[in-house]
A and B are shown apart, each in its own frame.
Chain A
Amino acid sequence: MTLRVKDLKVYYQTLRGDVHALDGVTFDLADGEIMGLAGESGCGKSTLGKSLIRLDSRMRHVGGSIELDGKDLPIADDDAMVPFRYHEISLIPQYAMSALNPTRKIGRMINELLRARGLRPADIAEELERRLELVGLDTDVLNRFPIELSGGMKQRVVMVMSTLLNPSLLIADEATSALDVSTQRSVAESMVEFRDRGYVKSMVFVTHDISLVYQMADTIMVMYAGRIAEKASTSTIINNPQHPYTQMLISALPEVGSTAEETRLEGIPGTPPGLLHPPTGCRFKDRCPMAFSKCNEQPPLLEIEPGHWAACWKTG
């Protein structure tokens, strides 16, 4: 499976105008690749995930294309997308835990999902048990209502549901962020295992925990204000980032054991620009310590060395 996203533009329509949540996003995802997707809150990560599955009524496909194995993905056509969902592409939404139907027991919910996809629950029962075990859940959860589970337990239930049909591409949006580190580790490791065993082929792993992505992803893509800032192999992004935003993002991470008394950490000063009327030129320029006159023009996303992409006038 290979995914090819080209100059994708998806806007939200609001009364005050269009929110340019994805404004020219371009990247490739190779067969078997696990890509971490990072970036400040509100930069469009979830919008990208949703765009690959279903545009809701307020989202508008303004331009660009998505290709899956050479086939154009009809993202603007809800009905034409049906055969792709769950089978080809599956999404674990952010806050999946609040999306579970409160009136259904977990087991019944899973059975309904399977039947809707034309499968007999009995045929899948054994596999379901194995996967629950893999993420550290007791099969007893099948007899419980969502309200009876903790946040992390619900998150893992959704993860198992979304991967049960072995989608080619799995998008996990903050799927481990409500988990304690030990469960997070086992879930992250089982996701790599899902890939290694071929349950899923490629994965986009949206997270704010760059140190978690470091443990499991092959590549990392950093977004800023609706655009791609940089994409490269995990070790390049962590050890040798080129885009000023990535550099600041990585150095803002504390080491284990630092305390407020010793050193007060500082985030990146300033806030990202609003996407209702995004500024022209480089979107990072108001916060960028390296900005110069050229930055009033939009920097193109260029491959600065094989497999390493960056959009900045200083790196090109």
Chain B
Amino acid sequence: MLELDRVHKVYRVGAFGGGRLRAVRDVSLTVKPGEVVSLIGESGSGKSTIGKMVLGLFRPTSGRITVEGTDITTIKGFAARKEYYRKVQGVFQDPFSCFNPIFKADRVFEMIRSSYFPGVSDADWRDKVLAAVGTVRLDPENVLNKYPHQLSGGQLQRLLIARALLLDIKLLVADEIISMLDASTRIDVLNLLGDLKERGLGILFVTHDLSLGNYVSDTSVILRKGAIAEMGPTLRVFDNPLHPYSRHLLSCVPQLHRTWAEVDAELAANPPEDVTLPTVAEDDDSAPLLEAEEGHFVGIDQG
């Protein structure tokens, strides 16, 4: 359903846009209906950039992004974009920026209604909103009819998830949506994503919480400096990480009952086998992948 084909993104940075910053490098991946693909990777590795390109907020510098076969850069005009967002929605890392402070927070629901459900009666709409708010485990009494500053971070984030649920979407881009939630609510949101996936929703799930990230995801993609370091079925990637960067990342997952120092010591005692990584020439900006076992790929070594 979602397909990225050799996508690159280079930003212009600096006062006069003179500098170049390669945020995404040669990324190809797919999200099928009913599939959850986790995007994992260090801060600044291009995860949000990929999400924003899928949502049409930035154009790729090169490469193609298609949704249900349509190249999304060809979607132009108000009506076509509106149809696109009926199918594809995003929930972003920083919920405060998604709310206008001078309006009540539930205006985000009203906006969905006026664009997509103008014919629905007040009573039906209210039921729909209450159902969505309930699914993200918020008490309507506590959150509706309030201004953004009157709500906590986790409450705002869940309102945005609820908003996305009002539309019968096909693809959800979820950028760090669980990071500000407590463990118990995280699990509820993840179970909710699991249910949506059963109904055929495709999810691009950006997360840094590896212990929970793999709880719902089918495929994991580990990014490093804009390029794919490793990609494969989640269980394989976690049980048998091949790229040195993935191994490092997994060793940093904070665990209960095991300190980082203990994990480091174990790793040093049984170092994993080296894997041959693909290589590219210095001035080549491609990022080839090598299939190490079926469906499990490793990418270039970037130091």
Choose, from A37-45, A67-75, A82-90, the stretch at the interface. Answer: A37-45
Known A-B contacts A256-B255, A264-B191; A183 and B182 likewise in contact (beta carbons under 8 Å): no
User: How many angstroms from the CA of A210 to the CA of B255 in the assembled complex?
Assistant: 9
Choose, from B70-78, B110-118, B150-158, B275-283, the stretch at the interface. Answer: B150-158
Q: Which of A41, A151, A183, A212 has the most CB of B within 10 A?
A: A41
User: How many angstroms from the CA of A196 to the CA of B191 in the assembled complex?
Assistant: 40
B102-151 contacts to A, CB under 8 A, are 137-139, 141-142, 146, 149-150
- Judged by a CB distance under 8 angstroms, whether A253 is at the interface is yes
Asked whether, in the complex, the Cβ of A181 is within 8 Å of the Cβ of B253, the reply is: yes
B243-269 contacts to A, CB under 8 A, are 248-249, 252-257, 259-260
Q: Which residues of B contact A294 (CB under 8 A)?
A: none
Closest B-chain residue to A257, C-beta based? B238
Asked whether, in the complex, the Cβ of B256 is within 8 Å of the Cβ of A210, the reply is: yes
Known A-B contacts A150-B48, A177-B179, A271-B137; A215 and B254 likewise in contact (beta carbons under 8 Å): yes
- Judged by a CB distance under 8 angstroms, whether A98 is at the interface is yes
- Judged by a CB distance under 8 angstroms, whether B35 is at the interface is no
Q: Which residues of A contact B182 (CB under 8 A)?
A: 38-41, 208, 249
Instruction: Tell me how far the C-beta of A188 lies from the nearest C-beta in chain B, rounded to whole angstroms.
Output: 8
Q: Which residues of B contact A268 (CB under 8 A)?
A: 184
Q: Which residues of B contact A144 (CB under 8 A)?
A: 13-14
User: How many angstroms from the CA of A178 to the CA of B41 in the assembled complex?
Assistant: 11
Q: Which residues of A contact B296 (CB under 8 A)?
A: none
- Judged by a CB distance under 8 angstroms, whether A280 is at the interface is no
Asked whether, in the complex, the Cβ of A41 is within 8 Å of the Cβ of B93, the reply is: no
- Judged by a CB distance under 8 angstroms, whether A267 is at the interface is yes
Closest B-chain residue to A273, C-beta based? B139
Q: Which residues of B contact A38 (CB under 8 A)?
A: 182
Q: Which residues of B contact A236 (CB under 8 A)?
A: none
Asked whether, in the complex, the Cβ of A174 is within 8 Å of the Cβ of B210, the reply is: no
A295-313 contacts to B, CB under 8 A, are none
Q: Which residues of B contact A94 (CB under 8 A)?
A: 153, 180
Known A-B contacts A148-B13, A264-B191, A271-B138; A42 and B44 likewise in contact (beta carbons under 8 Å): no
Asked whether, in the complex, the Cβ of A148 is within 8 Å of the Cβ of B11, the reply is: yes
- Judged by a CB distance under 8 angstroms, whether A209 is at the interface is yes
Known A-B contacts A252-B184, A256-B253; A178 and B191 likewise in contact (beta carbons under 8 Å): no
- Judged by a CB distance under 8 angstroms, whether A265 is at the interface is yes
Asked whether, in the complex, the Cβ of B208 is within 8 Å of the Cβ of A238, the reply is: no
- Judged by a CB distance under 8 angstroms, whether A293 is at the interface is no
A: interface residue count bin = 35 or more
Q: Which residues of A contact B21 (CB under 8 A)?
A: 148
- Judged by a CB distance under 8 angstroms, whether A63 is at the interface is no
Instruction: Tell me how far the C-beta of A39 lies from the nearest C-beta in chain B, rounded to whole angstroms.
Output: 7
Instruction: Tell me how far the C-beta of A138 lies from the nearest C-beta in chain B, rounded to whole angstroms.
Output: 10
Which of the residues B40, B150, B184 comes within 8 Å of A12, measured between beta carbons? B150
Number of A-B residue pairs at CB separation under 8 A: 187
Q: Which residues of A contact B29 (CB under 8 A)?
A: none
Asked whether, in the complex, the Cβ of B43 is within 8 Å of the Cβ of A153, the reply is: yes
Asked whether, in the complex, the Cβ of B208 is within 8 Å of the Cβ of A41, the reply is: no
Q: Which residues of A contact B234 (CB under 8 A)?
A: 259
Asked whether, in the complex, the Cβ of B185 is within 8 Å of the Cβ of A40, the reply is: yes
- Judged by a CB distance under 8 angstroms, whether A139 is at the interface is no
Closest B-chain residue to A263, C-beta based? B215
Asked whether, in the complex, the Cβ of B139 is within 8 Å of the Cβ of A174, the reply is: no
Q: Which of A94, A149, A250, A260 has the most CB of B within 10 A?
A: A260
- Judged by a CB distance under 8 angstroms, whether B97 is at the interface is yes
User: How many angstroms from the CA of A294 to the CA of B185 in the assembled complex?
Assistant: 29
Instruction: Tell me how far the C-beta of B241 lies from the nearest C-beta in chain A, rounded to whole angstroms.
Output: 12
- Judged by a CB distance under 8 angstroms, whether A281 is at the interface is no
- Judged by a CB distance under 8 angstroms, whether A254 is at the interface is yes
Closest A-chain residue to B195, C-beta based? A260
Q: Which residues of B contact A260 (CB under 8 A)?
A: 190-191, 194, 215-216
Q: Report A269-304 CB contacts with B as 1/0, cut-off 8 Å.
A: 001001110000000000000000000000000000
Q: Report A238-265 CB contacts with B as 1/0, cut-off 8 Å.
A: 1000000000111011111111100011
A213-247 contacts to B, CB under 8 A, are 214-215, 238
- Judged by a CB distance under 8 angstroms, whether A180 is at the interface is yes
Asked whether, in the complex, the Cβ of B249 is within 8 Å of the Cβ of A180, the reply is: yes
Closest A-chain residue to B238, C-beta based? A257
Asked whether, in the complex, the Cβ of A41 is within 8 Å of the Cβ of B152, the reply is: yes
Instruction: Tell me how far the C-beta of B188 lies from the nearest C-beta in chain A, rounded to whole angstroms.
Output: 5
Instruction: Tell me how far the C-beta of B55 lies from the nearest C-beta in chain A, rounded to whole angstroms.
Output: 16
Provide 9 A-B residue pairs closer than 8 Å at the C-beta atoms, listed in order of the A residue. Answer: A40-B185, A42-B155, A94-B180, A183-B43, A211-B211, A249-B183, A259-B235, A260-B191, A267-B187
List residues of chain B with CB under 8 Å of any chain A CB.
11, 13-14, 21, 40-45, 48, 93-97, 137-139, 141-142, 146, 149-150, 152-155, 158, 176, 179-188, 190-191, 194, 208-212, 214-216, 234-235, 238-239, 248-249, 252-257, 259-260
Q: A258-B211, A258-B215 are in contact. List 11 more A-B contacts (CB 8 A).
A: A148-B13, A156-B43, A174-B179, A178-B94, A252-B183, A254-B187, A256-B238, A259-B214, A259-B235, A265-B187, A276-B142
Those 6 A-B pairs whose CB atoms lie nearest each other, nearest first: A152-B43, A41-B154, A267-B184, A211-B254, A180-B208, A181-B252
